[in-house]
Amino acid sequence: MVEGKARYRRVLLKLSGEAFGGDGHSGIDWSVLAGVARQIKMVLEMKVDVGIVVGGGNIFRGAEAAEEGMDRATGDYAGMVATLINALALQDVLERAGVVVRTQSAINIQQVAEPYIRRRAIRHLEKGRAVIFACGTGNPYMSTDTAAALRAVEIGAEVLLMAKNAVDGIYSDDPRKNKGAEKYSKLTHSEALSKRLGVMDTTAVSLCLENKLPIIVFSLQTPEAIVKVVMGEHNGTIVTSE
């Protein structure tokens, strides 16, 4: 158990498809997910409200399907449905860990998940339930990073926590390709935008800039990474308005 106090009262955690895939990069790595669920439980026990936006890249990406000739919008809808699969896996693992959780979907699929209703999501959070937001923004040509920024602003989260698997922060270049790439410990939203740093898309960063929402990019590989970042401890990159 990690001792200490939480720095935030409400956070939005973005778990990319890559995080679900673990080292296998595709499908679902159940042991990674169990670790994530255990940490979310600890964060909730610290009386922090937790909203979670899930990605889908471990299953389907619209842009990649479009490169193979698929209609882009149809591919994007398939990508959004893929995020629902991750959401259900996470919902199940959280429940097995003893967490009360609700999944809300931006695309209507009411036999499986609640529809996204902002005020209802906030009510769940106030009751100490984790809320998983599935199906991104519900619109094609968008990303789940943008959905994460949007939901964070909508629910009044104090910070957007971007959990990564392959990288541990924002670098000047792709550290997997360029060994000389430098990691930033701090950046402004404008710097992240002007340098086009590629860790989040520009729509997502713009939304955070306009709403002065801090972003922390950190690695899930650090033990208890989610709990630590909620306590203000991380080795990643923080993006703020000044």
* Residues in region 77-116 near ligand UDP by CB under 6 A: 79-80, 82-83
Nearest residue to ligand UDP by CB is 55
**Which segment (57-65, 160-168, 211-219, 228-236) binds ligand UDP by CB under 6 A?**
57-65
Q: Is 22 in the site for ligand UDP (CB under 6 A)?
A: no
Contact stretch for ligand UDP (CB under 6 A) within 23-31, 50-58, 153-161, 184-192:
50-58
- Chain-centroid distance of CA 54 in Å reads 6
19: left (phi over 0), alpha (psi -120 to 50) or beta: alpha
Find the binder of ligand UDP among 40, 147, 157, 217 (CB under 6 A).
Answer: 147
Q: Which helix (H) or strand (E) holds 171?
A: strand 170-171
- Does 160 participate in binding ligand UDP (rule CB under 6 A)? no
Name 130's Cβ contacts closer than 8 Å, sequence gap at least 6. Answer: 40, 44, 50, 51, 52, 94, 99, 100, 101, 102
**Distance, CA of 61 to chain centre:** 16
**Among 213, 66, 58, CA closest to 141:** 66
Among 10, 89, 115, 140, binds ligand UDP (CB under 6 A): 140
Binding site for ligand UDP (CB under 6 A): 16-18, 55-57, 61-63, 75-76, 79-80, 82-83, 136-137, 139-140, 142-147
